[in-house]
Structure 1
Amino acid sequence: MWRECSAALLAKAIGELCFEGLLTPSGSSDGYELRFDDAVYAFSARRTAFGGWEVRPGSVRRGAPGILGDDVVEECDDVQRFVVDAFRSLGVDPATTAGFLAEVTATLAADVALAATARPAAELVGLPRAELDGHLTGHPWLIANKGRVGFSADDLARHAPEARTPVRLPWLAVHRGLAGFRGTPELSELAVREHELDPATVERFTEVLREAGVEPSAYAWLPVHPWQLDHVVRTLWAPELALGRIVELGEAPDWYLPTQSVRSMSNVDSPERYQVKLPLRILNTSVYRGIPPHCTEHAPVVTQWLRGLWGSDKLVAEWGTQLLGEVASVTVEHPQLARAGGVPYQWLETLGCIWREPVVLGEGERSWSLAALLHVDRSGRPLVLEYVGDTDPAVWFAALLRALFRPLVHFLYTYGITFNPHGENVVVVTDARNVPVRVALLDLVDDVNVSVERVPARGLDPDSDAPVLPRKPWAVLRQYVVDALLVGVFRPLASVYPLAPERFWGMVRGEVESYRARFPAVAGRMEEGSLTCAEFLRYPLNGYRITLGYRDLAARPPVPKTGTVPNPLHDVAPVPPPDGW
C-alpha cells in the first residue's frame, strides 16, 4: 500500500511542478521525460486545462548512470527520491528540501492511513458531511497537502481528519483584560454561551471560577483545541495560567470532528450548534494555522455587513445561496509578544476562536464539502459519479453551475466582492437525488476581498480606522475565482467528469456570457476582470513553499506570480444555461 500511495503522490508531484513551470518536460517516443543532473524521469501523461499535466501513476521510470557506466532504467514509485533529484537540479536550498521532504513524507503517511480504511465511493454518498470530510484525500493542487508540521504521530492519530476520531473540547476562561468578545447585534456573549453549552456545564464551569477565587463575570469563555492547550497555552501562556488570568474550566460534553482544514471543528452530537474555528500552531498547506487577531475581532462585523447585502438581493434569495456567518468570536492577544514588533506571525495567533453558523438543511436535503467532487476511491471510481447517478451529466453539471458559479459571478461583478471558493470553503446542498440546489459559503473574514473601485451596490465598506477587508483591482479580484474554483476544482473535475472538455468548459463560459447579456451595465468590470481572456496569471502554490522556504516571517507573504496559464474559456463555444437564465 505504501508503494501504491507513493506512486500516486509521485505522479501528482511531477504533474503539479510541471503545471507551475518549475519543471519543463520534453517529449520522447514513449511519452515525456524530465532530465536532471544525474537522473532522467520518463512518464506517461495527458495535458489538461490551464496547461495542466495529468501523469499516470505507475508509468514513471527513473534512469541513472550505473556503476559500469551504463544507464540503469527502472520503475520508480519513490516520491521522496524524486523530490531530492528535482530539488538538487533546481538548486533549491537544502534546508528547504529537508522541510519539504518532511511534509511530503507526512502527507504520504496520511495517504496510506486513508487508503487502509478507504471505503468504496458508493458507501460514502450517504455519510453526513462531518463524517465524509474524514474520507477525503485533501487539496488537489498542493503536493504536501497533509504536512501538518508540529503534529506527532500520536497527534495525527487523534486529531487528523482521516483519523475520524471525535474529541471533546476544553474550555478556557480568559480575563477581560486579555480577551474581547464580539458578536453580531442579535448575539450577546451570554446567548452564545447558552447556545453552545448545556445548563449543567455552564454551572460546572462557573463553579470552577468560584473555586479559583475569581469573579466569573470578569472572564470571557472560549473553547480551545486540546492539542493547542497542551502544546501552546500551557507553555506560552503559563504566566497567565499561574496568575489566574486564564483559568482551565474543563471539557464540554459534546463530541467534535475536524474538517479538512483541521482547525475547524464540527459538532457531531449537536449539529445545530456552531462550528468552531480554533487556532493551531502547526504548519499546513503553506501557512501556520493560527487565527490572526484582526480576523477574530472583525468576523462578526463582516458577517453582519454581508448579511445586509444578502437580504436586499432578490437573486441571492432566488438561488438560495447561504452565508455561514461568523457570528461571534473571542480575541486574545499575547500581552508581551503583541507589543514586541516584528514577531513571526504564528506566535501572535495562538489563542482565540470564531463561532460559525451551521448549514441549515430542508426536508430530504443533503450536504457535502465541494472537495468531495474530486474524491476517487481506490478502485478508481469518482465519488461525483455516485452523486450524478442516473441524472444526465449535463443536467447535473448545469445545476452545480447554477448553484455555485452563478452566484460567484454575480458577487464579483455586481458588488466587487470575491470569496475564496476552494473545496473546503464551499458546502454544496443537494436534493434527495443528490442534484445541487444551492451552496453555502464560509471563511468570510479571512478570505473575502473587495474591489479597489467603490461599487454603489456594495454601499459603505465595513471599515473603521483602517480597511477591514483587502482591496484588489478587478484583474486580481477575479483571480480568486480562477485559482480556487476554475483551476483548483474544475480543472481536476473535468478529468473525471463524463462530459467532453468542450461541453464542460462551454457550459462554464455559457454562464459568464449569460451574465454579461443580462447585466450590460457591468460590462466594463467584466472586461477588466475578465474570466474569458486568453490567459491568466499563474500563482504557484507549490512553488510558494519551495521559493519561500521555512524561515519565520512577520506576516503571511503573498503567493508570487510566475508566468501565465492558457484559459480554456477563451476559445470554447459558450453553451447557454438550460434554464434560459
Structure 2
Amino acid sequence: MWRECSRRLLAKIIGELCFEQRLTPEQGCVLHFAESVYTFEAERTAFDGWVVTPGSVRRAASGILGDDVVEPCEDVQQFLVDACRHMGVDGSTTAGLLSETTSTLAADVALASTARPVAELTSLPHIELDGHLTGHPWLFANKGRVGFAESDRERYAPESRTPVRLAWLAAHRGLAEFRATSTVSESSLFADELDAATRERFTEALNDLGLDPAAYVWLPVHPWQLDHVVRTMWAPELATGRLVELGEAPDWYLPTQSVRTMCNVDSPGRAQVKLPLRILNTAVYRGIPPHCTAAAPMTTQWLQGLWSRDKLLSEWGTVLLGEFASVTVRHPHLTRAGDVPYQWLETLGCIWREPLTPHVGPGETAWSLAAALHVDPWGTPLVGEFVRLSGLSAADWFAALLRVLLRPLLHVLYTYGITVNPHGENVAIICSGGVPVRAVIHDLVDDVNVSVEPVPERGLEPDSHDRVLPRKHWNVLRQYLVDALLVGVFRPLQLLLPLTEAQFWGMVRGEVESYRNRHPDLASRMDAGTLLGPSFTRFPLNGYRLTLGYRDLAQRPPIPSAGEVPNPMHSVSAIAPVDGW
C-alpha cells in the first residue's frame, strides 16, 4: 500500500512542478539534476499541464564503481531532495517540505487502506463522502497538517471518519463579541444549536463559579485547539474567569475536507461550524482572522440580499450558504504587539454557517465539487459513476454541470463585480437522479472579492468605511475563477470524462459566449476580465511554499505570479449550451 501511494504521490509532485515550470523536462520527459537523472512517462493536458504515469519514474545516478545505475524510483523523499537542490531551495525549506509531504503520504496510505469502490460512495451523505476524498488536486502536500501528530490525524482528519464532540467556552463580553444577521439573536442561535439540558448545564457551570451568565458569550472550540492552544496561550484568561470551560455538547460532528469546518451528523439541520486550528495546511495556517469573524454576518446579509433579488439566480436555484453568526475573540495583548505572526492572532473565535442538508430535497443527493475528481485505488473515477447514474451521455452530464455551476459564477462576476473562490471545497453540487440541478456556494467572507470599479448593480458594499472585502481589478477577479475552477477542477476533470479536449473546452467556451451574447451591456466588463484571451497569469501554488519557506509572517502573503499559461478556450470552437440558453 505504501509503495503504491508513494508512486502516485511522486507522479503528482513531478507533474505539478513541471506544470508550474519549477522543473523543465528536456527531450520529452527527462529531468537532469546535478547528481541524478529522472525519466518518466506523461500525458500533456490543458494549460500546459503534465500528468505523470505512476510507476513510470526511473532514476539514474552514478554507482560506487562510477557506472550509471538506472532503477525504478518511488521514493518521494529522495526525489524532493534531488529536486530542491536543483531548484536552489534552501535546506530549511527542503526539510519543511519533506516533512509536510511525507505527512501527506502517510495520510494517503491510511486513506487507501480503508478505501471503498466508487460504486459504494455515490449514496453516501455529503459529509460522509468528504471523508473518502483524496484532497486538493493541485497541491501535492495537501494533507501536511503541520502541528498534527499521527494520533491527531487518526482522531481529527476527514479520512479518519471519526466523529468528535465539540467543547464549549464562555468568553466574557469584554473579550468577545457576538454578531449575527438581522434574523438571528444569541438566544435563538443557542436554542437551535444546543438542547435545553445542555444550555441549563452551561448556565449552571457559570453560576457555580459565581459568574453572571449574561456577561458571557458562548462559543464552541475544536478539541485539538482547546488542548494545544487555549489551555496554554489563553491560560491567564482561564485562570481569571474571563474564559470558562463549559464542557462538551452532546452532538457528534465530522470534519469536511477543510479539516476546520465541522458538520453535525446527529442533527444535520443544525449549523456547520468553522473553527480555528493552529495547523499549517495547504499553504496557510488554518486559524480564522478576527476581521473575518466580525465581518461574516454582514457580508452574508449583503450577499443574500443580492441573491434574493436576482431573477436568474432564483431561476437557476443557486444556493448561498450564509455565515449567519460569529464570535470574535481578540487576544488582549498580542493585538498590541506589532508584527506578530498571523497564526497567533487567529486562535479563538467561530463562524456558524447554514447547513447544506435542508437544501437537499427528496430523491436528491449532494457532493462537494472535489468529489468529481476522486479516483478510487482501482483507477475508477467517481464522476463516471455520477454520469452512469444520470443516464446521460458524458457530454450532456457535463453540460448540466456547467449550467448549474459556471453559469451563475459568470453572472455574479460580470453583473455584480463579485467573485468567490469556487474550488472543490467551497462548492457543492446537488443532483437529482445523478443529474446536476443546483450549485451550492459557501465559505464566503474569506474568499469574496469585489471590483475596484463601482458597479451600480451591487449597490453599497457593507464595508464602505472599514474595508474587509478586497477590491480587485477585473483581470484579477477573473483569476479566481481561472485558478480555482478552470485550472484547479476542470483541468483534472477533463481527463476523467470521455470527452476530447476540444469538446470539453468548447463546451466551457460556449457557456461564456452564450452569457456574453445574452448580456451585451456587460461587454466592457467581460473584455476587461476576459476568459477567452490567449493566456492567463500563472500562480504556482506549490512554488509558493518553495519560495516562501516556513518562516513566520505577520500577514498571509499573496501568491506571486510566475509567467503565463495558455488558455485552452482561446483556440477551440464554441459549443453552444444544449438547453439553448
The within-5 A match list for 1:136-155 is 136-155=133-152
2:373 aligned partner? 374
Q: Provide the C-alpha distance between the structure 1 equivalents of 2:200 and 2:306, rounded to a whole number of angstroms.
A: 39
The counterpart of 1:288, out of the listed 262, 285, 288, is 285
> What SS does the corresponding residue of 1:445 show, helix, strand or coil?
coil
Question: Deviation at 1:466?
Answer: 2.0
Aligned to 1:8: 8
- 1:127 maps to which residue? 124
1:11 and 1:356 map into 2 onto residues whose CA distance is 37
Q: Which residue of 2 aligns with 1:428?
A: 429
Where does residue 50 of structure 1 map in the other structure? 47
Specify the alignment match of 2:30 in structure 1.
Answer: 33
**1:521 partner amino acid:** D
- Give the 3-state SS of the residue equivalent to 1:26 in structure 2: coil
* Whole-angstrom distance in 2 between the partners of 1:299 and 1:330: 10
From 324, 336, 353, give the equivalent of 1:327.
324
SS in 1 for 2:405: helix
SS at match of 1:469: coil
| Offset of residue 465 of structure 1 | 2.7
Matching residue of 1:385: 384
Distance in structure 1 (CA, Å) of the matches to 2:209 and 2:277? 27
Aligned twin of 1:439 = 439
Displacement of 1:524 in angstroms is 0.7
1:260-271 matches, within 5 Å, as: 260-271=257-268
Deviation at 1:212, TM superposition (A): 1.1
2:479 counterpart residue number: 479
Paired residue for 1:498? 498
Task: Please state how far the C-alpha of 1:464 moved relative to its aligned partner.
Answer: 4.6
Alignment partners' CA distance in 2, 1:37 and 1:124: 45
Alignment of 1:508-547 (within 5 A): 508-547=508-547
Q: Could you report, residue by residue, the CA deviation over 1:380-405 in whole angstroms, capped at 9, with x for unpaired residues? A: 00000000003211111111000000
CA distance in 1: counterparts of 2:245 and 2:485, whole angstroms: 41
Deviations 1:7-40 (A, max 9, x none): 0000000000000010000125xxx110000010
Q: How many equivalent residue pairs?
A: 577
Match of 1:173, as an amino acid?
A
| Residues 130-151 of structure 1: CA deviation (Å, up to 9, x unaligned) | 1110000000000100000000
How far apart, CA to CA, are the structure 2 residues paired with 1:287 and 1:274? 25
d(CA) in 1 for partners of 2:190 and 2:464?
Answer: 27
Structure 2: gaps (5+ residues): none
Deviation at 1:307, TM superposition (A): 0.8
Partner AA of 1:446 in structure 2: D
Amino acid at match of 1:131: E
Secondary structure of 1:222 counterpart: strand
Hey, what's the Cα distance between the residues in 2 that align with 1:578 and 1:416?
Answer: 27
Q: Does 1:312 align with 2:309?
A: yes
| Distance of 1:312 and 1:126 partners within structure 2 | 34
TM-score, normalized by length of structure 1?
0.99
Counterpart position of 2:409: 408
The residue type equivalent to 2:457 in the other structure is: A
Q: What SS does the aligned partner of 2:482 have?
A: helix
Matches of 2:315 and 2:464, distance apart in 1: 32
> 1:200 corresponds to which residue?
197
Q: Counterpart in 1 of 2:254?
A: 257
* Distance in structure 2 (CA, Å) of the matches to 1:411 and 1:569: 21
Task: State how far apart, in whole Å, the 1-side matches of 2:469 and 2:300 are.
Answer: 12
Indicate the percent of aligned positions where both proteins have the same amino acid. 70
Correspondent of 1:248 among 239, 245, 250? 245
Letter aligned with residue 64 of structure 1: A
Unaligned segments of structure 1, at least 5 residues: none
Question: Match of 1:364?
Answer: 363
Secondary structure, counterpart of 2:521 in structure 1? helix
Aligned to 2:576: 576
Q: Distance in 2 between matches of 1:7 and 1:265?
A: 32
Q: Determine the C-alpha separation between the residues in 2 that align with 1:402 and 1:524.
A: 23
**Residue 119 of structure 1: CA displacement?**
0.2
State the distance in 1 between where 2:533 and 2:464 align.
36
Q: Give the TM-score of the pair, scaled to structure 2.
A: 0.99
Find out whether 1:230 has 2:231 as its counterpart. Answer: no
SS, match of residue 150 in structure 1: coil
Amino acid at match of 2:181: T
User: 2:392 is aligned with what amino acid?
Assistant: T
